[in-house]
Chains A and B, each alone.
Chain A
Amino acid sequence: MGSGPITGPVLTEGTARDLGAQSADLAGVPAKPHPTDSAEIGGTSWRRFVFRRPLAALILKRLGLSIGLLFAVSLMIFGGVEALPGDFATTYLGQSATPQAVENIRKDLGLDRPWSERYLSWLGGAVKGDFGTSWASKQSVSEQIAKRLGNSLFLAFFAALISVPLAVGLGMLAVQFRNRMPDKIINVISLAAISLPEFFIGYLLIMVFAVELGVATFPATVYDTMTLAERLSAIALPVATLVLVVLAHMMRMTRAAILNVMSSAYIETAELKGLGTFRIIARHAAPNAVAPVINVIALNLAYLVVGVVVVEVVFVYPGMGQYMVDAVTVRDMPVVQACGLIFAAFYIFLNMAADILAILANPRLRHPR
């Protein structure tokens, strides 16, 4: 996993500098899709559907694309794991194992079968939600993951709950006070937060709040027996770490997207109607900045779910990330594959959701001529 949030397309701020500059383009609004783009796919009934319900057709197409992508990713995960040096048998038995013992274990695990056969049987199980049994613990991978995934989502959910409204709000605040003190302060702090790797922020928070001040809990391990309040207090530090890491990116993109829209002619129109700054930003700029902002938010949510690996390890939090890292160290392939596929599914799903929301946010697509 990377050491920072995934960066999406970056809006240029250059054109946004002059508020009144006239720009005739409708920022961020893609043109109506070409009718033939989708017509290639199939016969006349699909064509008719595309013509009658262009929006639904577009969304269906995006859905199909995601499913295809997920299959491609499953192949890549399997291939990648296959290509890793070393295998479970040697790691499990140690360096001094006899070739015969290694061979036996490989046979037990079915590693002597060709990879295509193993891939298909694994995929067949995965589609039904069965990821096989862990080689190390001999337990069902699906059961183990279910519990851990719940923990990871719990963490990511609270991080998102705090970071998304905060980021969008700060972004709008920065636009309202652009190039003045509040904007500069927001910028410097968020830049500092984005520049530090999350494990560093994590340890820093532990040192200050858990060790020096003693107000927070560490390690952030949660148990089944804990109440909600206890859980929340346990995850305070990892949530704070995640928020600090994703906040800056979302906030800066919100600011850039709104500023980009602020240079359009219809904002000048709003100004010449004598509207107040806040109304101009909230009513006239924000709806047109929604599409790029949704994209960044989705990317960062995906990062929250996928990128928790490092944070979970730092805070000894029993989530998916920690589970996966443990599995990698012992070459427990069914677990690694399952975690990889689930992370990929989240990533693909969130991006798809962002695309569909961006399509829905576009008045040209929502209200065709």
Chain B
Amino acid sequence: MPDLLSVKNLKIEATSYPPGEPPKVVTLVEGVSFDLEKGKVLGLIGESGAGKSTIGLSALAYGRGGVRITGGEVLLNGRDILNLDRAGINEVRGRHVCYVAQSAAAAFNPAHKLGDQVIEASLRHGLMSREEARKRALYLFRVLGLPNPESFGERYPHQVSGGQLQRAMTAMALCPNPELIVFDEPTTALDVTTQIDVLAAIKHAIEETHTAALYITHDLAVVAQISDNIMVLRHGKTVEYGTTKQVIEAPREDYTRALVNVRQAKREEAGDQSGALLKIEHVHAGYGNGFKVLHDVSMHLPQGQTLAIVGESGSGKSTLARVITGLLPPSEGRIMFDGKELPKALKGRAQEELRRIQMIYQMADTAMNPRQTVRDIIGRPLSFYFGMSGAKKTERVKELLDQIEMGSRFLDRYPAELSGGQKQRVAIARALAAKPELILCDEPTSALDPLVAEGILNLLMKLQEETAVSYVFITHDIAIVRAIADSVAVMHRGRLVRFGAKSKVLSPPFDDYTDLLLKSVPEMEIGWLERVLKTRRMESAGN
């Protein structure tokens, strides 16, 4: 009996059109082969550009944009789906193979009810009557733990939350009873506390329906919970292919080993946390329409240390950063810096006060002028704060480039000519150029691949040792908090839940929210998900 899906020596190419140059054919995927049995899950893992989504979509004989499958075979139940005509391909899609996209918010049609979209493929392929399809959708909504399953299908996509949409997308894929589902980073856009629910729902649904799956993600800890086999990809080629146990517990390749060991680092926190370079006192803040975001937030940060502010989206952590910079004046409370109160609004602050606090953003891309070279970007604060120019300025820019481990050959590059990690390094150099005492880092690594992010974190720690700069580090990632923080503030819905030294905040007894947050972070350990769910069930049974 043949395997359900058998991919042999796959080659995928795309044509790119660099401006001012002849079109170029780029190979995205080369020589990838794998087999998938009925009811099994294969995890495809790698960093961005590794070709994981491209491979996943080849199981539906689909290429995004100008992507073409130019070689190899994709056999579904022994039949090569790459040689099918349009009608044959439509027969495969939505009937035998279904797809779950990364952003369910964009993948659902805003004009139609969720229920209609979930059962559409089953109806169009003539698999069941409308009544049967409705029943199946209702069953799937229940299995996936959606609230009010009876009326859920009557809602429009904008009326439900991101986590619910992601589960509805899974229901949509499961509805026609396909033999294979391709999950393309289904939990990446979600908060950790939501991710664990969706992950559990997907796992439960796969087991319940005996569907096989390709599970694409960049997070090895996530894939360890759900897959039977793992394929590690890099630059469109296979690095390692084996059972989940073998890959996680005994990786053969260096690259896999690095992925497994990423962010194992833990920093000892500073012993003395009594001083306060920055002191936030009873801050309330909100936006113009009377919508209050921050409620009575107080915390402090000693000089030369790192304060991590952690919370999920909507917790108010970025708003707090805006209050500290003066972009959003607080309605009540004050910000003390080096013993003096900072003027509330940016306009009221002196240039010297501005210089001492700098910021690094999540998206280095959008925080830099694409038409300026690295020299101009880093040089701007030098001339603005210190009046430097000419050779002296260039000399200092070179020094800063050395500090961020990039070197002077990058002087005349434009942002578009830098990688994601390099852009973030330039942003760090720009902040450093002002010789600040405090740098606000707003999720500076969350858009980066794990290994690149680790490099950035190491650089930030090295710079702190060299220059004794203090960091306020905003993140949603507990692993980062463990790795770099001295003190931690946990925020939830605009309120401070917990604040103190890292060792105190991250050890029991916990409040409910911190407990949930900490238990939701996937660990690089097979069976972690079951263990967490089991304790949860026991707790709720005990209550």
Please list the residues of chain A having a beta carbon within 8 angstroms of any beta carbon in chain B: 18-26, 29, 34-36, 264-266, 268-276, 279, 283-284, 287-288, 363-364, 367, 369
Is A20 a contact of B65 with CB atoms below 8 Å?
Answer: yes
Q: Which residues of B contact A268 (CB under 8 A)?
A: 64, 101, 107
Given contact pairs A21-B64, A272-B62, A364 touches B110 in the complex (Cβ within 8 A) = yes
Is A266 a contact of B94 with CB atoms below 8 Å?
Answer: no
Is A274 a contact of B107 with CB atoms below 8 Å?
Answer: no
A257 to B120, CA, bound (A): 24
Is B156 a contact of A363 with CB atoms below 8 Å?
Answer: yes
A358 to B67, CA, bound (A): 36
Is A265 a contact of B103 with CB atoms below 8 Å?
Answer: yes
Query: Shortest Cβ distance from A79 into chain B, in angstroms?
Result: 38
Chain A residue nearest to B154 (CB atoms) is A367
| New contact pairs (15) apart from A36-B289, A363-B110, CB-CB < 8 Å | A24-B105, A24-B106, A26-B106, A35-B289, A36-B290, A264-B106, A268-B101, A269-B101, A269-B108, A271-B62, A272-B93, A274-B92, A274-B94, A275-B120, A275-B124
A36 to B288, CA, bound (A): 9
Is A272 a contact of B111 with CB atoms below 8 Å?
Answer: no
Interface status of B79 (Cβ within 8 A of chain A): no
Is B158 a contact of A275 with CB atoms below 8 Å?
Answer: no
A276 to B159, CA, bound (A): 28
Q: Which residues of B contact A273 (CB under 8 A)?
A: 93-94, 98, 120-121, 124
Interface status of B504 (Cβ within 8 A of chain A): no
Beta-carbon contacts under 8 Å, B95-126 to A: 95, 98-99, 101, 103, 105-112, 120-121, 124-125
Kindly supply a per-residue 1/0 record for chain B positions 273-307, scoring 1 wherever the CB is within 8 Å of any chain A CB and 0 otherwise.
00000000000000011100000000000000000
Size of interface on B: residues with Cβ below 8 Å to A? 36
A242 to B264, CA, bound (A): 73
Is A272 a contact of B90 with CB atoms below 8 Å?
Answer: no
Query: Shortest Cβ distance from A68 into chain B, in angstroms?
Result: 25
Chain B residue nearest to A24 (CB atoms) is B106
Query: Shortest Cβ distance from A99 into chain B, in angstroms?
Result: 63
Is B90 a contact of A24 with CB atoms below 8 Å?
Answer: no
Is B65 a contact of A34 with CB atoms below 8 Å?
Answer: no
Q: Which 10 pairs between the two chains have the least Cβ-Cβ distance?
A: A274-B93, A273-B94, A274-B94, A287-B111, A265-B106, A274-B90, A20-B64, A273-B121, A24-B106, A266-B109
A36 to B92, CA, bound (A): 49
Query: Shortest Cβ distance from B96 into chain A, in angstroms?
Result: 9
Chain A residue nearest to B53 (CB atoms) is A22
Q: Which residues of B contact A23 (CB under 8 A)?
A: 106
Q: Which residues of A contact B109 (CB under 8 A)?
A: 266, 269-270, 284, 287-288
Please list the residues of chain B having a beta carbon within 8 angstroms of any beta carbon in chain A: 60, 62-67, 89-95, 98-99, 101, 103, 105-112, 120-121, 124-125, 156, 158-159, 288-290
Majority SS at the chain B contact face:
loop
Chain B residue nearest to A367 (CB atoms) is B156
Given contact pairs A269-B99, A272-B62, A275-B90, A34 touches B289 in the complex (Cβ within 8 A) = yes
A26 to B112, CA, bound (A): 13
Is B103 a contact of A24 with CB atoms below 8 Å?
Answer: yes
Chain B residue nearest to A270 (CB atoms) is B109
Q: Which residues of B contact A29 (CB under 8 A)?
A: 110
Is B106 a contact of A274 with CB atoms below 8 Å?
Answer: no
Q: Which residues of A contact B124 (CB under 8 A)?
A: 273-275, 279
Chain B residue nearest to A266 (CB atoms) is B109
Contact partner of B65 (CB less than 8 A), chosen from A18, A36, A271, is A18
Is B99 a contact of A272 with CB atoms below 8 Å?
Answer: yes
Q: Which residues of A contact B112 (CB under 8 A)?
A: 283-284, 287
Is A272 a contact of B103 with CB atoms below 8 Å?
Answer: no
Query: Shortest Cβ distance from A51 into chain B, in angstroms?
Result: 12
A20 to B112, CA, bound (A): 21
A167 to B98, CA, bound (A): 36
Is A266 a contact of B121 with CB atoms below 8 Å?
Answer: no
Is A369 a contact of B159 with CB atoms below 8 Å?
Answer: yes
25 pairs, A vs B, C-beta closer than 8 Å:
A18-B64, A20-B64, A20-B67, A22-B106, A24-B103, A29-B110, A35-B289, A36-B288, A265-B101, A266-B108, A266-B110, A268-B64, A268-B101, A269-B107, A271-B62, A273-B121, A274-B95, A274-B124, A275-B90, A275-B121, A279-B124, A287-B111, A287-B112, A288-B109, A369-B159
A280 to B120, CA, bound (A): 12
A25 to B107, CA, bound (A): 10
Q: Which residues of A contact B108 (CB under 8 A)?
A: 266, 269
A279 to B124, CA, bound (A): 10
Interface centre among A264, A284, A287, A363 (most CB of B within 10 A): A363
A367 to B238, CA, bound (A): 47
Contact partner of B91 (CB less than 8 A), chosen from A19, A264, A274, is A274
Q: Which residues of A contact B66 (CB under 8 A)?
A: 18
Interface centre among B66, B158, B159 (most CB of A within 10 A): B158
Q: Which residues of B contact A22 (CB under 8 A)?
A: 64, 106
Query: Shortest Cβ distance from B153 into chain A, in angstroms?
Result: 14
Q: Which residues of A contact B110 (CB under 8 A)?
A: 26, 29, 266, 288, 363-364
Chain B residue nearest to A368 (CB atoms) is B159
Q: Which residues of B contact A18 (CB under 8 A)?
A: 64-66
Query: Shortest Cβ distance from B44 into chain A, in angstroms?
Result: 17
Query: Shortest Cβ distance from B524 into chain A, in angstroms?
Result: 30
Is B95 a contact of A363 with CB atoms below 8 Å?
Answer: no
Chain B residue nearest to A365 (CB atoms) is B158
Chain B residue nearest to A287 (CB atoms) is B111
Chain A residue nearest to B63 (CB atoms) is A20
Interface centre among A22, A23, A29, A34 (most CB of B within 10 A): A22
Interface centre among A20, A274, A279, A364 (most CB of B within 10 A): A274
Q: Which residues of B contact A270 (CB under 8 A)?
A: 109
